[in-house]
Amino acid sequence: MQRLEVISKFLLASLASVLLFMSGISLPPLAVILLPFVPQPVLMFGLKYGVAGGMAVLTVATLALMIFAGEELGLLYGIFAIMTAMVLRLLGRVRAIDHLVAAVAAVMLAATAGVSYYFFGSWAAMYGDFRQSMTRQLEAAVQMQEKLGFGQESVTLLKERTGEIVDMILQLLPALLLLSFAFIVLVNLLYLRRRFPERRAEWFALEHLREWKSPEALVWGLILCGFALFVPALGTLRVIALNFLAVIGAYYFAQGLAVIGFFFHKNNVPQFLRALTYVLIVFQQIFTLLVVGLGLFDLWGDFRRLGKDNAAPSQAA
């Protein structure tokens, strides 16, 4: 009976993961909701029945997709499989959550680059295809804005600067992909924290994410990359600096959110006001930048006094 239960859970985990992946690929509007949870059924199975079992689920799911859905989808699912395998192997070994997220996201980015190069054959062909695709999508978005009656000035401005916007997105594509993968990894880790509260101390060094701080040495990267942007002759190095700035900004954004969450918890702010604040932060650029600034200045201000209290950080929270 126990073996039958394991087999049924094995098949269910494989099927659930593949369905989430195929649904996210087939329904682009739902991709943001569905794709981050593709690894979750396999993670749950692997944590309950062992890492080897989780690896077996990944192998079966990947091979099934390659056989029945094609090599391309199989390799794309393989990127999620790599992430899932790394989380299963590193969970509890790398207890700093930011290190774990960064390591897994970096490997996913490298795997994505490798898969893309395999299909396109050259970086130039890949760049050209991405540029054409993004240009079409942006033009379709502009046409939609015209049909919805948006201001003619903003629509005209978008039309005139379509090429510049596409070029900027392509320059920032490595950072955007890395941050997207980091978001997927973080979502899965947060769900595991909630699903297995008794194992938080085993897996993570921090009991609460509101106590998290970015590495202090990161500020030097911010300074160096900032200076690099003002040197016109650097060329490619400026693009690299821009990508690093985007990633560093995400670190300070996360620290700013941690500061806000700390004071929300400390002052027992109602859930409605917390939700409203987070919505404003996500959808209003000025609030997003303010949160990044808050995270940056927390390095010197230490607003939570985590390093000054004699009590443990969890007690201070």
Q: Is residue 214 part of a domain?
A: yes
Interval 4-12 mean pLDDT: 91
Within its chain, how far is the Cα of 86 from the centroid?
Answer: 15
Q: Is residue 285 part of a domain?
A: yes
CB 90 within 8 A of CB 103: yes
Give the domain extent around 267: 206-317
Confidence band for 308, pLDDT divided at 50, 70 and 90? low
Picking from 48, 44, 24, the residue whose alpha carbon sits closest to that of residue 36 is 24
Interval 218-224 mean pLDDT: 92
The three-point CA angle 121-126-130 to 5° equals: 160
The pLDDT value recorded for residue 30 is 86
Alpha helices in the chain (DSSP H): 2-26, 31-34, 40-49, 51-68, 71-90, 97-120, 123-147, 152-160, 162-171, 173-195, 200-203, 218-228, 236-266, 271-283, 285-301, 313-316
Q: Is residue 14 part of a domain?
A: no
Mean of the per-residue pLDDT values for the chain? 89
The pLDDT value recorded for residue 28 is 82
Question: Looking at the 3D structure of the chain, how many domains does it have?
Answer: 1
Instruction: Give the separation between CA 200 and CA 213, rounded to whole angstroms.
Output: 18
The pLDDT value recorded for residue 310 is 38
Q: Is residue 234 part of a domain?
A: yes
| pLDDT tens per residue, range 86-104 | 999 999 999 999 999 999 9
Interval 294-307 mean pLDDT: 88
Q: What does R_g of the chain's alpha carbons equal in angstroms?
A: 22
Q: What percent of the chain is predicted at pLDDT more than 90?
A: 67
Confidence band for 316, pLDDT divided at 50, 70 and 90? very low
Residue 96's region, left for phi above 0, alpha for psi from -120 to 50, else beta, is beta
Q: Is residue 282 part of a domain?
A: yes
Q: Is residue 273 part of a domain?
A: yes
Residue 115 has pLDDT above 80, yes or no: yes
Q: Is residue 310 part of a domain?
A: yes
Q: Is residue 245 part of a domain?
A: yes
**62-66, 152-156, 174-178, 261-265: which range is least confident on average?**
152-156
Instruction: Give the separation between CA 53 and CA 48, rounded to whole angstroms.
Output: 9
The pLDDT value recorded for residue 317 is 34
Picking from 108, 111, 113, the residue whose alpha carbon sits closest to that of residue 123 is 113
Interval 301-307 mean pLDDT: 84
Confidence band for 222, pLDDT divided at 50, 70 and 90? very high
